[in-house]
Structure 1
Amino acid sequence: MRYMMSYDLMETMRNTNQWLGATALSIASAPAFAAWPNPGLNWMAAWGEVTERSFQRMVAKPDWGIRTFTCEDGKDHLVDITTVVERPFGDLVHFRVNGRPEQPRKVLLVAPMSGHYATLLRSTVKSLIVNCEVYVTDWHNARDIPVSAGKFDIEDYTLYLVDFMRELGPDTHVIAVCQPAPLTLAATAYLAEQDPEAQPSSLTLIGGPVDPDATPTDVTDFGRRVTMGQLEETMIQQVGFKYKGVGRKVYPGLLQLSSFMSMNAERHTKAFMDQILRVSRSEASDHDSHNRFYDEYLAVMDMTAEFYLSTVERIFKDREIARNAFVVNGHQVDIGAITDVAVKTVEGANDDISAPGQCIAALDLCTGLPETKKASHVEPGAGHYGIFAGRSWRDNIRPLVIDFMNANTRSAAKAKTRTKRSKAAK
């Protein structure tokens, strides 16, 4: 019960801070005070506005905000977000542009389950929707999933990806961002062994910890320092009575957020102080750069306890993927079984979360894949976020990924084979 009480205590603290912000804003904005202008009241109102918004966003799922798209015909077409596969812990959704011909590339974008919603990839989706049919794994907040739905660990996650790939078919190009990179690699290998006809055309892994020990970071060092017992004791709590998942053991989103913020505490503190000053001077807006970033960054979701703990133990501590010893549903997956799926890795030279070397390790594991189907790219000067959503992605990485897809589509490969056969016949 103490874990449930601590979960509700965190929610109470969040709710209290939201209330304090709303109260400060209401008091300082009272019309009666307008007769006695005071910079202190302006600052109090600004603090209240920023505080209320910040703590309110922590329990709100952000909207995708992708409603229309301007196509080559110069017209704005409505974008429908439709659910293709619906599951308890996550759905497969399709960004369908109404009135536009089906695009030549079908892309499955595997979103991370690492504390934030899939909407963190909003800008990535926007950049791909230009000339791709985009599908995204939309993971659910564990606090909203009843205990009756069962467990969800990294094996279940991998099998979800297997089912999503099967649903989309072999002409799919898969892009995995950050956390799911090793599990997406395992899911592809699982298909190579169990259902070869369902394998995707290509697999692009972006900034993921395939081999965490290849280049140690603060994240991997933390995984080494603590024991599983310590993690379970300090990080795992039970969902409180407010949500549908009451009683489910989770790694709470609010606890994750405190870890995120502490990693760059000075930068975040300065960002919020600067925003309070901008609001007090009436220089801020509802959708300014600060609000756009923190509305997404502060919106966190709970992870199931078994998913978090199995990730730390099996991916980081035991390095099951890196050692090619990962077991899914009783079957040991052989990554060397991937022989027909082109694999590309993308890393950022300045990535301090998944440092260069961790992701490219995937290519060495693909022992059965010809070198002509392997590719890698290290983006100079790019950090973790930049390699999938920043300027580095838009200007340099996205074009490379599109070219990689074009060169490795199933139809292109078949056409090339037919051409060779016809020349041989002549």
Structure 2
Amino acid sequence: MKYMTTYDMMESARNTNEWLGATARAMASYPAFALSMNPALPLMAAWGEVTERTFGRMVVKPDWGIRSIPGAQGQDHLVDAVPVVERPFGDLVQFQVRRRAPMARKVMLVAPMSGHYATLLRSTVASLLPDCDVYVTDWHNARDIPVSAGKFDVEDYTLYLVDFLRHLGPDTHVIAVCQPVPLTLAAVAYLAGEEPAAQPRSMTLIGGPVDPDAAATEVTDFGRRVTMGQLEQLAIQRVGFKYKGAGRLVYPGLLQLQSFISMNAERHSKAFSEQIMRAARGESSDHDAHNRFYDEYLAVMDMTAEFYLSTVERIFKNREIARNCFTVAGKAVDFGAITNVAVKVVEGANDDISAPGQCLAALDLLTNLPDEKKASHLEPGAGHYGIFAGKSWRLNIRPLVLNFIDANSAAPAKSRSPRVVAG
């Protein structure tokens, strides 16, 4: 499947469906047809409206949409998303709050590179901004990156995180969400071995696959069933001529979206059917609950082929993180080198993507970290999304994370030497 034609055919199908939706909406909304009083016409216009929006959102990067936050004295502070470190495959973005002094808490939020944009964490950022200076890893869509920019795999991802942490300094608190959890752990361990003074104060690891074998899910089962050759043949395509990254090998976002939807096909089908009926009755709006969710959910990005394949092979199949045998730029990463960074693990009891136990395995890897610097929390009834952006995050997890940050904000008195563990 590694042909531009395949990629372009998929994009053509998306474009055609968007055009069909726009055409149906325009035709059924023609004023003269209103005289017929035909109930099928509003239904056709509603179908067109929902279809056009659905397929149009698939190739649009959502805006952060965080304009301002309330200040302590009752006034509003405007917010600007400004890149402070720029790289070909991703930037470190600061949410600068105008007319506000630097906050005591400085947080680097590590966003997933798993098919969605970093804006998936919009509500997480918004909830942290009143109390923290917030920085986010904003990964770029691989289809827009020229081939001349080179490769980008799990080691490059890890080194990007290392560079971002060096830039922010040691008074930083890291919050990693889902996919980047094991690589964030690796980045801090790399710094612990190479540049201990640049390590952050704390890490909060939320629902990530440190040890995929700790608890089976549909994602881990798929990783076991398929061979790397099959995966490369089925999933990898070349970016078509429409984009700047023409010719780059990628795992297309549209293909990933198909996988996302197929996991809960009945629920998504019902949601779109109900939205069409609401639109036909004139009850839908531009920012209703359906559109707020799906405008983000449907906005997908391509991942470089080497990043996708190396993630499956090294994190899921070979379990290099879980077995403490991960290497970066030819150097072994030893998680036992982390001795001063406080680590908190957060999992959702109903998480069907990174099931409970997968992220908790991180604490077992930190053999030289004192127990008082380790913490964990299992949120009852919470699914994958809820532990970083839903009700569970807002009501329970966010306060716990902020308290953990406060408890571990002081600089360590001195660097500890790793204890020797008898083999």
Would the TM-score normalized by the shorter structure come out above 0.5? yes
Cα distance between partner residues in 1 of 2:403 and 2:12: 50
1:86-235 alignment runs, 5 A limit? 86-235=86-235
* Equivalent position SS for 2:91: strand
* Equivalent position SS for 2:285: coil
Cα distance between partner residues in 2 of 1:410 and 1:89: 33
* Equivalent position SS for 1:213: helix
2:171, 2:409 within 8 Å by CA — same for their partners in 1? yes
Deviates more, 1:52-61 or 1:34-43: 34-43
Cα distance between partner residues in 1 of 2:2 and 2:358: 38
TM-score, with length taken from structure 2? 0.97
* Equivalent position SS for 1:17: helix
* Equivalent position SS for 1:241: coil
Q: Any idea what the Cα deviations from partners look like across 1:380-424, whole Å, max 9, x if unmatched?
A: 00000000000000000000000000000134x559xxxxxxxxx
Cα distance between partner residues in 2 of 1:190 and 1:2: 34
Q: Any idea what the Cα deviations from partners look like across 1:356-387, whole Å, max 9, x if unmatched?
A: 00000000000010000000000000000000
Q: Any idea what the Cα deviations from partners look like across 1:103-159, whole Å, max 9, x if unmatched?
A: 110000000000000000000000000110000000000000000000000000000
Cα distance between partner residues in 1 of 2:104 and 2:413: 15
Cα distance between partner residues in 1 of 2:40 and 2:203: 56
- Residue 365 of structure 1 corresponds to 365
Amino acid at match of 1:15: N
- Aligned-pair identity in percent equals 75
Amino acid at match of 1:309: L
* Equivalent position SS for 1:204: strand
- Residue 40 of structure 1 corresponds to 40
1:373-392 alignment runs, 5 A limit? 373-392=373-392
1:12-23 alignment runs, 5 A limit? 12-23=12-23
- Residue 419 of structure 2 corresponds to none
Deviates more, 1:69-78 or 1:57-66: 69-78
Amino acid at match of 1:212: P
1:111, 1:136 within 8 Å by CA — same for their partners in 2? yes
Cα distance between partner residues in 2 of 1:228 and 1:3: 18
2:108, 2:172 within 8 Å by CA — same for their partners in 1? yes
* Equivalent position SS for 1:344: strand
* Equivalent position SS for 1:343: strand
1:395-410 alignment runs, 5 A limit? 395-410=395-410
Cα distance between partner residues in 2 of 1:384 and 1:302: 22
- Residue 254 of structure 1 corresponds to 254
Amino acid at match of 1:62: P
Shift of 1:239: 0.1
2:2, 2:249 within 8 Å by CA — same for their partners in 1? no
Shift of 1:2: 5.9
Cα distance between partner residues in 2 of 1:2 and 1:59: 21
Shift of 1:300: 0.1
Amino acid at match of 2:295: D
1:186, 1:333 within 8 Å by CA — same for their partners in 2? yes
TM-score, with length taken from structure 1? 0.96
Q: Any idea what the Cα deviations from partners look like across 1:8-30, whole Å, max 9, x if unmatched?
A: 00000000000000000010000
* Equivalent position SS for 1:230: helix
Amino acid at match of 1:369: L
- Residue 336 of structure 2 corresponds to 336
